[in-house]
Amino acid sequence: MARRVRAFGRGRSDGPGVTGTVRLDKRTKNLTKRLQPGEVAVIDHVDLDRVSAEALVSCQVAAVVNVAPSISGRYPNLGPQILVDAGITLVDGVGPEIFTALGEGDQVLVEGGAVRRGDETVATGTEQTLATVEEALAEAKAGLADQLEAFVENTMEYVKRERDLLIDGVGVPDVKTKISGRHALIVVRGYHYREDIAALRPYIREYRPVLIGVDGGADALLEAGYRPDMIVGDMDSVSDGALTCGAEIVVHAYRDGRAPGLKRVHDLGREAVTFPATATSEDIAMLLADDKGATLIVAVGTHANMVEFLDKGRAGMASTFLTRLRVGSKLVDAKGVSRLYRSRISTWQLLFLVIGAFVAMSTAVFMSPAGDVIRPLLADRWHAFLFWLTGLFS
């Protein structure tokens, strides 16, 4: 177990640093599956995004050591500020050599931008504070115009590759799950997904939408007490338990038909259909729901604005943007549903129903011939209740 040597306050260093057990992985989402509270996460993540940062915060890591710059300046990414706001030490630019210099489970001290194992300084970088992160974000905002130009070029390339899918739905597979005429709730394990699912409970209870989990979104549904009807994705971040829960499985494949995730599904004894597309998994889930006749698509944890699109990475921006143009008339963010939706049965209606039932029962007891038998029994029960109640205070 690791221990924290100092208290953290919005990313400022007031003491000798933090010690902890090292966990290393070049893919942050893989690393967060095995991180324990108080450990030191070593990652290789240019422009640390919000989802990854929130996952690291939820793991309660003591420090994050990044081989790459957490803010490259391409755009104002959201992850670094989340870490420093949570009081987690963030050290940037230590170089890839740290992956060979350190082993899984080593004990290290992270102090002032240096990573030490015993008396040896293994790597050095730049420790980020609230002030340095805010300065870097301000500089990154100035570069948004260049990113938007690159976005336009990427969008045109995507349209050329996927115009048949976007315009005519060519390539969308046939599925067994009945979607036509129903609402579809698509869950991505992204921004504030837990809060959104909790807020949607009355909506889910009343409308019974088709529940579609995108990779780890299937686990999010199971954690909330729901069984997904369908799982869509490349199957790299969903648990075996979710894949074997009985949901229909749609494996996201490359455009040439290769589907690395299909082998994992077959190894678990499950069948699946493939959906070849260069879009992101959350986008093909939306395109699938739209093509199969969903009347409304409610999105949980997906990307909703330009900064979030950029935070996802430029390669996925075009499909995300164009998919929303395609399904825009049906697409509603979960926050909008939770704010606008009200159960069609109000509290007053329930109260009047209970009062009406009580009046009807009372009338039946006192007016029917059976009332002569029932009234003494009710009186006995009432007096027994009063005797019990008075006994509590005597």
Does 1 reside within a domain? no
Given 110, 141, 172, the domain boundary residue is 141
| 189 and 93 inside one domain | no
For residue 45, the model assigns a pLDDT of: 93
For residue 148, the model assigns a pLDDT of: 67
How many domains does the structure of the chain reveal?
Answer: 3
| 198 and 163 inside one domain | yes
Specify the pTM: 0.63
Given 98, 121, 141, the domain boundary residue is 141
| 178 and 271 inside one domain | yes
Q: How far apart are CA 108 and CA 114, in angstroms?
A: 10
Does 369 reside within a domain? yes
Amino acid type, 239: S
Does 35 reside within a domain? yes
> 392: which 2 tokens?
């509590």
CB 63 within 8 A of CB 110: yes
For residue 305, the model assigns a pLDDT of: 58
Instruction: Provide the CATH number for the domain around residue 137.
Output: 3.50.30.10
Given 103, 119, 141, the domain boundary residue is 141
pLDDT in tens, the chain (394 residues): 344 333 333 333 445 689 999 999 998 988 998 999 999 999 999 989 888 898 899 999 999 999 999 998 877 888 999 999 999 999 999 999 999 999 999 999 999 899 999 999 999 999 999 999 999 988 887 766 666 677 667 666 766 666 666 666 557 899 999 999 999 999 998 777 888 999 899 899 989 999 999 999 999 999 999 999 999 999 988 999 999 999 999 999 988 889 999 999 999 999 999 999 887 898 899 999 999 999 999 999 876 555 666 665 545 566 777 777 778 789 888 876 756 555 455 556 556 666 766 666 666 656 666 556 666 766 677 667 666 666 655 5
> 75: which 2 tokens?
């755009």
| 290 and 179 inside one domain | yes
For residue 279, the model assigns a pLDDT of: 79
The domain of 199 spans 144-340
Strands 296-300 and 331-333: parallel
Q: Which residues of 318-356 are buried (b: 16+ CB within 10 A; e: fewer)?
A: bbbbbbbebbeebbeebbebbeebeeeeeeeeeeeeeee
Amino acid type, 210: V
Does 6 reside within a domain? no
For residue 15, the model assigns a pLDDT of: 52
Q: What is the DSSP string of 180-200?
A: TTSEEEEEES-TTHHHHHHHT
- Burial class, 162, CB count within 10 angstroms (exposed 0-12 / middle 13-18 / buried 19+): buried
Kindly provide the residue ranges of all beta strands, DSSP E only, lying in the chain, ordered along the sequence.
18-24, 40-43, 63-66, 89-92, 107-111, 114-117, 120-124, 126-128, 183-188, 210-214, 230-233, 248-253, 273-276, 296-300, 331-333
Give the Cβ contact number of residue 178 at 10 Å: 11
Q: How far apart are CA 253 and CA 158, in angstroms?
A: 16
Does 151 reside within a domain? yes
* SS3 of residue 208 by DSSP: coil
Q: How far apart are CA 66 and CA 80, in angstroms?
A: 11
| Interacting residues of 40 by C-beta distance below 8 A, sequence separation 6+ | 2, 18, 20, 21, 22, 23, 61, 62, 63, 64, 65, 108, 110
For residue 365, the model assigns a pLDDT of: 58
| 126 and 195 inside one domain | no
Does 7 reside within a domain? no
